[in-house]
Chain A
Amino acid sequence: MIHFNDVTKVYNGNVKAIENMNFTVEDGELVIMLGPSGCGKTTLLRMVNQLESITDGDIMLNGKSVRHSNKIEMRRNIGYVIQSNGLFPNMNIEDNAMIVPNLLGWDRKKMRDRFNMLMELVGLNPDEYRKRYPHELSGGQQQRVGVARALAADPPVMLMDEPFGALDPIIRTHLQEEFLQIQKELKKTILFVSHDIDEAVKMADKIALLKGGKMMQYAEPARMLNKPSNSFVAEFVGQDRVLKSMSLYTVKDLADALTLKPVLESPDSQNINENLSLRVAISKILNQEADQLIVENDNGTRKGSITLDLIEQFLHREIKESV
């Protein structure tokens, strides 16, 4: 658990970078801090592992004050991933990934097993990459190693500073999805900085939207999209916020909440899998002649069909519920 308690950061005696920040990242939660550049999100992140000092207030990490902890020991218990991966070019991939276990004095066998396990986890073949050097890897592969390195000593808490920000869109989407899978398995407590609202909506359990060092809104993605607490939030999440919120639900969510329409045989309507997001479903309906889509489950069994009317019904229901 990361608990921000009245955290304030003042530069040069008068420039307030962070003002009385109060919020809590619960165990196993992935919280994304979002906001325009200069809003203080990275500063706030770096205050957790004390790369930035705290002027006033405190951050409690699993009940312990970060201001009064031993910095070195504390940092070894926090996974840290940065945008430009920061791999060390003088070390091979195994030494890079195992740097923290090495500092902690793990024995060889344990480190090797851990390396193999982590590389499999991030989707790289351990034996193929063990002896290679960072410059021989693509940006996406380097960032996977960066994630593996942060997970090496199995820290309960992770800090991630725009970890996928420098990657091209296709690789970024890949890594986001893979990382969500990893997180589902490992249930780390994660504080994550991003400037990309879509990334936040897709990955976060909660979003913290900052502006000028102040919290604008701290809420689940659906709530933030459907019920922005002020005009800044509404503008930041975008005019298409309702559409964005559709990417939070799958067709299956809709099918569970409402009854699907009966299937009308028509050569124009496409078949879709029930795990497709509603946002994609809407786009598919608009992009075809017929006004319904036929929903199938993983076995290919037809479950019914959806129409724009049905999606609208579902949307109104969800907005009401998230309030």
Chain B
Amino acid sequence: MERTNKTIALIIKLIFWALLIAFFVWAFANNMFSKIWEQPDTFLRLLGEHITIVLLSGAAAVLLAVPLGIFVTRPKFRKSEWLIVGIANLGQTIPSLAVLALAMGFLGIGISAAVVALFVYSLLPILQNTIAGLDSVDDNMIDAAKGMGLTNAQILWKIELPNALTSIIAGVRTALVINIGTAALAYLIGAGGLGVWIFTGIRLFDNAFLMSGAVPVTLLAIVIDYLFKWLQFALVPKGLRLARKAKNS
């Protein structure tokens, strides 16, 4: 059973990679990425802007959402959870384009409006994953820790956070990958990024502009995704990683 599953997974993977390679061969053959070689300076500037928007907004969201998640999971402040999650929810339910437009309304055009908009947009996945991760820590474990004389801070740092880390990193990963796509819209409020080429391509029906913008955005998302997979591997305590693996096999 497991063998057939693995074989099927392998076949699907192979088909996927074959399609991807075929696409790239086709795109190169038709000179679709020509803009990247023709205007390397512009490309690097746009890529830089794109990455800056994503990383700044992401970092700010982590710095706010993770402490906020810790705060609402403290028994004393548990009652504030609905309010804070509700507010974060609001940021997520409004369409990304509307969030950008709203941010522009307050901050004018430019990169700062895009950073603020994406920051608002990433709060919820990080907050929710932080809360879910901390909630999933076994109460018996915390009870044992308390009973042995760990202080609340020691319980948080030594027990709760390490055990919630997988979930927290997964939240950050989700938020960043979504943001890389959403940051392509930043062009619309004058914040630059690879969206500039994508939208130019759409307007001019020019596949070269379109692909030179869209494909690097996709690759960026994949790279960030893998980076965080690696980060998860590096940061999550070995015991938890092994336990997870043992449970899944």
Residues of A within 8 A of B (CB): 46, 49, 51, 71-78, 80, 82-92, 99-100, 103, 133-136, 149-150, 159
A85 to B144, CA, bound (A): 8
Q: Nearest Cβ distance between residue B152 and chain A, in whole angstroms?
A: 10
A133 nearest in chain B by CB position: B239
Beta-carbon contacts of B232-247 to A below 8 Å, as 1s and 0s?
0000011110110011
Residues of chain B contacted by A87 (CB below 8 angstroms): 141, 144
Besides A88-B158, A135-B242, 11 other A-B contacts (C-beta < 8 A): A51-B147, A75-B149, A77-B149, A84-B140, A87-B144, A99-B148, A103-B149, A133-B242, A135-B239, A149-B148, A150-B148
B154 nearest in chain A by CB position: A103
> Taking the complex as formed, is B159 at the interface, i.e. its CB lies under 8 A from any CB of chain A?
yes
Contact A75 B162 (CB under 8 A): no
Residues of chain A contacted by B238 (CB below 8 angstroms): 133
Residues of chain B contacted by A86 (CB below 8 angstroms): 138, 140-141, 143-145
A51 to B151, CA, bound (A): 13
Set A76, A82, A133: member contacting B143, Cβ < 8 A: A82
Residues of chain B contacted by A92 (CB below 8 angstroms): 239
A152 nearest in chain B by CB position: B148
> Taking the complex as formed, is B130 at the interface, i.e. its CB lies under 8 A from any CB of chain A?
no
> Taking the complex as formed, is B74 at the interface, i.e. its CB lies under 8 A from any CB of chain A?
no
Contact A74 B242 (CB under 8 A): no
A314 to B240, CA, bound (A): 57
> Taking the complex as formed, is B20 at the interface, i.e. its CB lies under 8 A from any CB of chain A?
no
> Taking the complex as formed, is B146 at the interface, i.e. its CB lies under 8 A from any CB of chain A?
yes
Residues of chain A contacted by B149 (CB below 8 angstroms): 71-78, 100, 103
Contact A51 B143 (CB under 8 A): yes
Q: Nearest Cβ distance between residue B153 and chain A, in whole angstroms?
A: 11
Given A90-B239, A133-B238, A100:B246 Cβ within 8 A: no
A73 to B151, CA, bound (A): 10
Residues of chain A contacted by B163 (CB below 8 angstroms): 88-90
8 chain-A/chain-B pairs, Cβ below 8 angstroms: A80-B148, A83-B140, A86-B143, A90-B162, A90-B237, A91-B239, A99-B145, A135-B243
Give the interface centre of B147, B150, B154 by most chain A CB atoms within 10 Å: B147
Contact B148 A75 (CB under 8 A): yes
Residues of chain B contacted by A136 (CB below 8 angstroms): 242, 246
A150 to B148, CA, bound (A): 8
Contact B143 A91 (CB under 8 A): no
Q: Nearest Cβ distance between residue A192 and chain B, in whole angstroms?
A: 14
Given A73-B149, A75-B149, A100-B149, A89:B140 Cβ within 8 A: no
Q: Nearest Cβ distance between residue B238 and chain A, in whole angstroms?
A: 7
A133 to B159, CA, bound (A): 15
A49 to B145, CA, bound (A): 12
Residues of chain B contacted by A71 (CB below 8 angstroms): 149
A116 to B243, CA, bound (A): 25
**How many residues in B have their beta carbons less than 8 Å from beta carbons of A?**
25
A51 to B3, CA, bound (A): 50
Residues of chain A contacted by B144 (CB below 8 angstroms): 80, 82, 85-87
Q: Nearest Cβ distance between residue B27 and chain A, in whole angstroms?
A: 46
Given A135-B242, A135-B243, A51:B146 Cβ within 8 A: yes
Contact B246 A135 (CB under 8 A): yes
Q: Nearest Cβ distance between residue A150 and chain B, in whole angstroms?
A: 8
A73 to B148, CA, bound (A): 9
Given A88-B159, A91-B239, A133-B239, A103:B145 Cβ within 8 A: no
Residues of chain A contacted by B159 (CB below 8 angstroms): 88, 90
Task: Kindly list the 6 A-B residue pairs having the minimum CB-CB distance in the complex, ordered from nearest.
Answer: A86-B144, A75-B149, A76-B149, A133-B239, A80-B147, A90-B237
CB interface residues, B 36-81, toward A, < 8 Å: none
CB interface residues, B 165-201, toward A, < 8 Å: none
Q: Nearest Cβ distance between residue A133 and chain B, in whole angstroms?
A: 4
Residues of chain A contacted by B150 (CB below 8 angstroms): 72, 99, 103
Given A75-B148, A100-B149, A88:B242 Cβ within 8 A: no
Residues of chain B contacted by A91 (CB below 8 angstroms): 237, 239
Given A86-B140, A91-B239, A92-B239, A100:B148 Cβ within 8 A: yes
Contact B162 A82 (CB under 8 A): no
Contact A76 B148 (CB under 8 A): yes
CB interface residues, B 71-105, toward A, < 8 Å: none
A75 to B151, CA, bound (A): 10
Beta-carbon contacts of B200-214 to A below 8 Å, as 1s and 0s?
000000000000000
Given A103-B154, A135-B246, A90:B147 Cβ within 8 A: no
A136 to B245, CA, bound (A): 11
Set B147, B242, B246: member contacting A49, Cβ < 8 A: B147
Q: Nearest Cβ distance between residue B213 and chain A, in whole angstroms?
A: 43
Contact A134 B239 (CB under 8 A): yes
A72 nearest in chain B by CB position: B149
